[in-house]
Every structure is written in structure tokens, then in C-alpha cells.
């Protein structure tokens, strides 16, 4: 299996998990574009909360394949799909403190 085929297969598996939870996903040549259609983005230029997820071998983990955020923060090894999904769901959802105080 080539690196590109390995990368695409692992991102496609993650995409299936995220799509099942209502996220919009698009596998592109650059990686997996993930957006949460229920959460507004950070500014006028970003309509929905989202990120471009990539995967690659992680040298500090013996070359094991990992998912990464667009700013190269490691998410989880690619064989830990549930952990990666939970991580992404967590940072692409509205945080309670951002919703305002309820009284």
C-alpha cells in the first residue's frame, strides 16, 4: 500500500465516524476537511467551526500513523479512531462558556 493510499483509507475511516455524528466531511488531496454545521466559526471569514485533518507517520512514535490538526497538533494514532473522533468532536463544538451565562 502506498503512503497516499494508506493516508486516504485512514482519513476515510475517520470521516465515516464524524459524518455519523452529524459533521460535514470532505476528503481532499490535502486531507479531511471537517466542519460542524451547528457551530458558527470564529469570524466573518469562517462560517462554521472546522479544521483540515491530516495523517502521517509520527517520528516520535516510531513511524506509527497519527491524525493531526491543521496546526500539526497530534490528535491520536490512526488505529484509535474513537479517540480521534472524540478529540475532534470536543474541539469543534461550542464550549458551554461561549454560549453565555444562563440564569
pLDDT in tens, 71-103: 999 999 999 999 999 999 988 885 433 434 333
Residue 65, beta-bridge partner list:
57
* Biggest alpha carbon–alpha carbon distance for the chain: 56
Entry pTM: 0.81
Question: pLDDT band at 50, cuts 50/70/90?
Answer: confident
Average pLDDT over residues 28-35: 94
| CA distances from residue 70 to 30, 74, 103 in whole angstroms, order as listed | 10, 10, 37
Average pLDDT over residues 38-54: 67
Question: pLDDT band at 42, cuts 50/70/90?
Answer: low
Helix or strand or coil: residue 40?
Answer: strand
CA distance 78 to 85: 10
Domains of the chain, residue spans: 3-95
Amino acid at each position: 500500500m502506498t503512503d497516499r493510499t494508506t493516508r486516504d483509507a485512514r482519513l476515510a475511516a475517520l470521516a465515516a465516524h464524524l459524518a455519523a455524528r452529524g459533521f460535514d466531511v470532505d476528503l481532499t488531496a490535502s486531507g479531511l476537511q471537517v466542519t460542524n454545521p451547528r457551530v458558527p466559526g470564529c469570524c466573518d471569514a469562517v462560517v462554521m467551526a472546522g479544521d483540515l485533518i491530516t495523517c502521517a507517520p509520527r517520528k516520535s512514535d516510531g513511524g506509527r500513523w497519527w491524525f493531526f490538526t491543521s496546526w500539526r497538533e497530534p490528535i491520536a494514532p490512526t488505529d484509535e479512531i474513537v479517540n480521534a473522533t472524540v478529540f475532534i468532536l470536543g474541539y469543534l463544538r461550542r464550549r458551554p462558556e461561549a454560549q453565555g451565562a444562563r440564569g
